[in-house]
Amino acid sequence: MFETIASIILTVSMTLFWGIASIAAAGLPYSKSNQSLKNRINFSIWTGGAALLLSAMWYATIIGQLVMSGCLFAEGTIKTLIPLTLVPQLYLAVTILPRLKSLRESGGEPPTQAALRTVAHPSVPLSFYAAALASVISAFSTVFAQPILPSPFEIAQRFMLVALILLVPAIFARRRYLKVIRGEQLQCGFVVRLLNLAVAGILTAVVAIAILVSNVLVGVNASKLPEASDMMNHERIDEGGGSATQISGYSDHHNHQQHYVNNQTGTVEVAALTGNISDPADVKFELVAQRKKITLASGAVIDAWTFNGEIAPELRVKHGDMVEVKLINKDIDSGATIHWHGYNVPNAMDGVPGMTQNVVKPGQSFTYKFRADQEGTYWFHSHQQAAEQVVKGLFGTLIVEPKQDAETFDEQFTVINHRWMTDQGYKHAIGKHDVLQWKQVKPGKRVKLRIINTHNQSQKYLLQGTEFRIASIDGIRIQDPQPLSDQTAYRLGSGGRYDVVFTMPDHPVFFKLGDYKNVSNPGITFYTETPPEKPIFKAESALFDPSDYGKPVANDVTAATLKFDREFQMILGNEMGFYNGKFHFLWTINGEVYPRVPTLVVKEGDKVKTTFVNKSLTEHPMHLHGHHMTVLKKNGVKVKTPWLTDTLSVLPGESYEVAFIANNPGMWMDHCHNLDHAATGMILHLMYDNVRSSYEVGTRSGNLPD
């Protein structure tokens, strides 16, 4: 983050100095006396020198980033932008500036013909222009189009851009040079020069605009999503450096339809991946997707899209139950599905329209059935146009109680925090409560808060008045969680869950969303006898760190000596660009958005490692369907306590190494759970090489899984 800001400041100031130096250099041939030539040369040298110094500082920043954050953070800049700026700068430093220096003479006589020829030579102004242009492109790229894993073409592209834009200035410089050679007097009149400049400027702008417009047209068209496509991204697959998969073995990429029926290859259909559901259901639920006006505690009204007309209805089952949930769509026109977030159900039950099922349109239904074989705090939500549907309320909670709990709790609260669009503007709320709540709990009682962040942004929480423990992360229990002081704040990325437990003391305990200073944020005051007048919070002194908490998870991917079958990289970036024909500020994975991000292909049983690197300007909660990831390293260093997560928040400047065993065959989404980011393409897929899906995505089928 710091490097990004420093890079922006440095490249912008480089641009400024190279720009001034360019103007000075272009004026050299107009000098009437040796003295004015000398002054102008000095000015060019000083401003150029300052620009060189700034460039050196920028290079140092990038090298610093390389050393501090690692190769993946700096690679794109080093391969793409540094050569672009370095080439003209080196040429200037080694050739042009020394040549100019040698021309400095004092005296009032007009400069010699030889001196004029030297300064009028097109290489002089053009190398300054090129340096200035390279700085502009670097500044722009740093903010808007970070180069990530650049191909040789992308590296060459920026050089071609500079060459194209310099075409007109080159013609003008050459014309001027020829005049000087012929011994003609250059027009020094202010008006004439200004006119000349204006013509050159306008023509250059025309070239630049033409390049821009053609890029926009190409970008808009290339970004349009097809009306219908399957999820098998044959053109772009990433096998993570592992052994060849069935997918890569395909010879005919465009006619893969035939492989669906080719049972000799042992491929299976997503729809067949239901797991064993022959046993009768132990519990049955019905969820009716419907529009409903809901009034929050403050009186603010939401035009909500709900399940069963409620905010976050709860499905509570016992570990081991066979669960059946019938989704009925009453009046959600775009259709709905249910995705069991973090619950590693068999693929056919994962609820991704166009990949694991067809979207459920109004009047239709779909029945999900799965064995509840993970206990813990989970949630579910529609995966059809999730950026709209989840925000509007199509979600609920899935609480799987242990068969037997070593620890019992007297009071359990599910704390689901969401941001609603109401008739009074945006409101944060816990359930229906966009205001403070009071709850009486007897001293000595054991309390469990199941906290679920369903909002698109990460959320900070405070619990004060007693020490507490974080008993589970993303539904998975922490072994031996140590007590945390009540001045420890904790944070959940979008989609993440913590179970927080404490024993009620004989005085109040205060829970709230957000900063201690925002006293009006929703929160819960737990009191024993008489409710206190108002909650009282103090500033936190620490932030909970899951990488050093409880006992480390030890599983099939934590062994230090483990050799992974496949290793993937996901560099998270940002870029101005187009998605489905519209201009957007895009959040990218490896420099691309869906559907151009390669599909990760694995074989069942593979041990898979993924490295997340966040080069972008904001946080991304990365969510993999169907698997929990074990976090192994943070910022290049082994974490003290590897932990399991299904939604890992990666902050700007951070990197994580996570791993999982490919033990749940299917086609799975892997995406940012800031659903606005996913809606403009921050999505990719994880695919088992023997799995095929015959569902289609796009407007034709109405399956819109983002």
Chain contacts with ligand C2O (rule: CB under 6 A): 339, 341, 381, 383, 495, 623, 625, 669, 671, 673
Distance in Å, CB of 370 to ligand C2O, minimum? 16
Nearer to Cu ion (CB atom), residue 315 or residue 672: 672
Helix (H) or strand (E) holding 196: helix 190-223
Asked, as a colleague might, if the bond just before 595 is cis with ω within 30 of 0, I would say yes
Helix (H) or strand (E) holding 472: strand 469-473
Give the pair of three-digit tokens for residue 253: 């990429």
Distance in Å, CB of 517 to ligand C2O, minimum? 31
Nearer to ligand C2O (CB atom), residue 89 or residue 459: 459
Instruction: Write down how long the chain is.
Output: 706
Quote the DSSP letter at residue 111: P
C-alpha distances (whole Å) from 108 to each of 25, 92, 117, 266, 273 are: 20, 28, 19, 90, 90
Neighbouring residues of 274: CB distance < 8 A, sequence distance ≥ 6: 346, 348, 349, 369
Distance in Å, CB of 383 to ligand C2O, minimum? 6
Nearer to Cu ion (CB atom), residue 466 or residue 574: 574
x-marked contacts with Cu ion along 607-646 as a string, rule CB under 5 A: -------------x--------------------------
x-marked contacts with Cu ion along 38-57 as a string, rule CB under 5 A: --------------------
674, interface contact from ligand C2O, Cu ion, none, CB < 5-8 Å by kind: Cu ion
121, interface contact from ligand C2O, Cu ion, none, CB < 5-8 Å by kind: none
In 3D, which of 166, 162, 159 has the Cα closest to residue 79? 159
C-alpha distances (whole Å) from 621 to each of 127, 457, 672 are: 44, 9, 5
448, interface contact from ligand C2O, Cu ion, none, CB < 5-8 Å by kind: none
When CB distances to ligand C2O are compared, the closest residue is: 341
341, interface contact from Cu ion, ligand C2O, none, CB < 5-8 Å by kind: ligand C2O
Distance in Å, CB of 389 to Cu ion, minimum? 18
Distance in Å, CB of 598 to Cu ion, minimum? 18
Q: Which residue has the tokens 């410089």?
A: 173
Q: Which residue has the tokens 């958005």?
A: 593
369, interface contact from Cu ion, ligand C2O, none, CB < 5-8 Å by kind: none
620, interface contact from Cu ion, ligand C2O, none, CB < 5-8 Å by kind: Cu ion
Distance in Å, CB of 212 to ligand C2O, minimum? 35
Nearer to ligand C2O (CB atom), residue 495 or residue 573: 495
615, interface contact from Cu ion, ligand C2O, none, CB < 5-8 Å by kind: none
Q: What is the DSSP string of 254-298?
A: TTTHHHHT-GGGT-EEGGG---S--SPPSEEEEEEEEEEEEE-TT
Nearer to Cu ion (CB atom), residue 477 or residue 596: 596
The distance of Cα 643 from the centroid of its chain, to the nearest Å, equals 22
C-alpha to C-alpha distance for 278 and 42, rounded to whole angstroms = 87
Distance in Å, CB of 613 to Cu ion, minimum? 13
Distance in Å, CB of 676 to Cu ion, minimum? 8
Nearer to ligand C2O (CB atom), residue 55 or residue 356: 356
Distance in Å, CB of 332 to ligand C2O, minimum? 17
Give the pair of three-digit tokens for residue 233: 């991204």
Interface with Cu ion: number of residues (CB under 5 A): 5
CB 291 within 8 A of CB 332: yes
x-marked contacts with Cu ion along 242-261 as a string, rule CB under 5 A: --------------------
Residues 671-690 contacting Cu ion, CB under 5 A: 672, 674, 677
Distance in Å, CB of 422 to ligand C2O, minimum? 23
Nearer to ligand C2O (CB atom), residue 671 or residue 677: 671
672, interface contact from Cu ion, ligand C2O, none, CB < 5-8 Å by kind: Cu ion
Q: What percent helix, strand, coil does the chain show, rounded to 5?
A: 30, 30, 40
C-alpha to C-alpha distance for 638 and 566, rounded to whole angstroms = 19
Nearer to Cu ion (CB atom), residue 385 or residue 674: 674
Nearer to ligand C2O (CB atom), residue 646 or residue 654: 646
Nearer to ligand C2O (CB atom), residue 343 or residue 578: 343
Describe the crossing of helices 2-27 and 123-144 by its angle, rounded to 10 degrees.
160
Distance in Å, CB of 387 to ligand C2O, minimum? 11
Nearer to ligand C2O (CB atom), residue 602 or residue 622: 622
677, interface contact from ligand C2O, Cu ion, none, CB < 5-8 Å by kind: Cu ion
Residues 563-602 contacting Cu ion, CB under 5 A: 587
Distance in Å, CB of 145 to Cu ion, minimum? 17
Nearer to Cu ion (CB atom), residue 670 or residue 696: 670
Alpha helices for 264-406 (secondary structure H): 386-392
Neighbouring residues of 566: CB distance < 8 A, sequence distance ≥ 6: 239, 240, 241, 242, 600, 602, 606, 607, 608, 609
671, interface contact from Cu ion, ligand C2O, none, CB < 5-8 Å by kind: ligand C2O
Describe the crossing of helices 34-69 and 113-120 by its angle, rounded to 10 degrees.
30
C-alpha to C-alpha distance for 514 and 489, rounded to whole angstroms = 9
In 3D, which of 696, 693, 700 has the Cα closest to residue 260? 693
As beta bridge partners, residue 306 has 290
C-alpha distances (whole Å) from 351 to each of 307, 321, 361, 600 are: 15, 20, 13, 20
List interacting residues with Cu ion (CB under 5 A): 587, 620, 672, 674, 677
